[in-house]
Amino acid sequence: MPVTTCIFDAYGTLFDVAAAARIAAGEPGNEALAAHWPALAETWRRKQLEYSWLRAVQGDHCSFWKVTEDGLDWAMEAQGLAGSGLRQRLLDLYWQLPAYPEVPALLRTLQDRGLNTAILSNGSPEMLTAAAKSAGIEALLDDLLSVEEVGIFKPAAPVYELVCQRFGGSPAHVLFVSSNGWDAAAASAYGFHSVWVNRSGLPMDRLTGQPQTVLDTLEPIADLEVF
C-alpha cells in the first residue's frame, strides 16, 4: 500500500538538539562549558526524555518545555555547571535549533511529489512553531502535530493516532521517521512503516515493534521503495 503521508519526529530527527550546548560553548564568557558541552547535551536530552516517560506513567502530564527545563537543571548540576545566565542562554537557544543540513531538500522533494509532510512531536505547539520558523522549514510542512492534543507523551498510542485523524487513511499509508529507536519501534507497532535514523550507531531496542528501515541519515528516505 503506497505511502501518502510522511511524518517526522522533531527533536534529534529534524532539529539538532546538541546545537544549543555546542553554540553556547563557543560564546565568550562560557569557557567553562567548552569541555563539558557534549556530555551536557547528551545528559540534557536523556533526562528530558526520561522525565517525559515518567510523567506519562504517573499520569502527571506537563508541557514539554517543563521537562526540558528540568532536564537541563539536572544535567547542569551533574556536570558541575552553574549560573542563571548560562542556563537562560541554553534555554533560549533551544527555541532556535537548526535543522540538520539534509532536511530542507528532503522535505522539498517529498512535498513536490504531492506527499503530506508533518511533524509529530512531544514538543508544545509554541516550541514546534518557533523551531520550524528558525530552521526555515515551516513552509515545507503541512502541519505540526503536538502531544498537547492528547495530554500524554510518546510512545502512548493516542499520540500516533493523531496522524490518521489529521490526514485520514490507514496507518499503512504513513511513513514515520524518528532518530529515537523506541519511537520508531512504537510507531511500527501502531502500524506505520517506520524509519529509525540511527545517527549514533546504537543497538536495536528490545521492544514489541521493530522499525522496518534503519538509516544513519535522512538523505536516502526519498528513495525508499515504499513510495
Catalytic residues: 9
Cis peptide before 158 (omega within 30 of 0): no
Location of C-alpha cell 532536564: 71
Residue of 172, 141, 151 whose CA lies nearest to 1 = 172
Integer Cα distance of 64 and 68 in angstroms: 6
Residue 37: CB atoms within 10 A of its CB come to: 23
Integer Cα distance of 47 and 111 in angstroms: 34
Integer Cα distance of 147 and 44 in angstroms: 20
SS3 67: helix
Dihedrals phi, psi of 201, to nearest 5 degrees: 65, 40
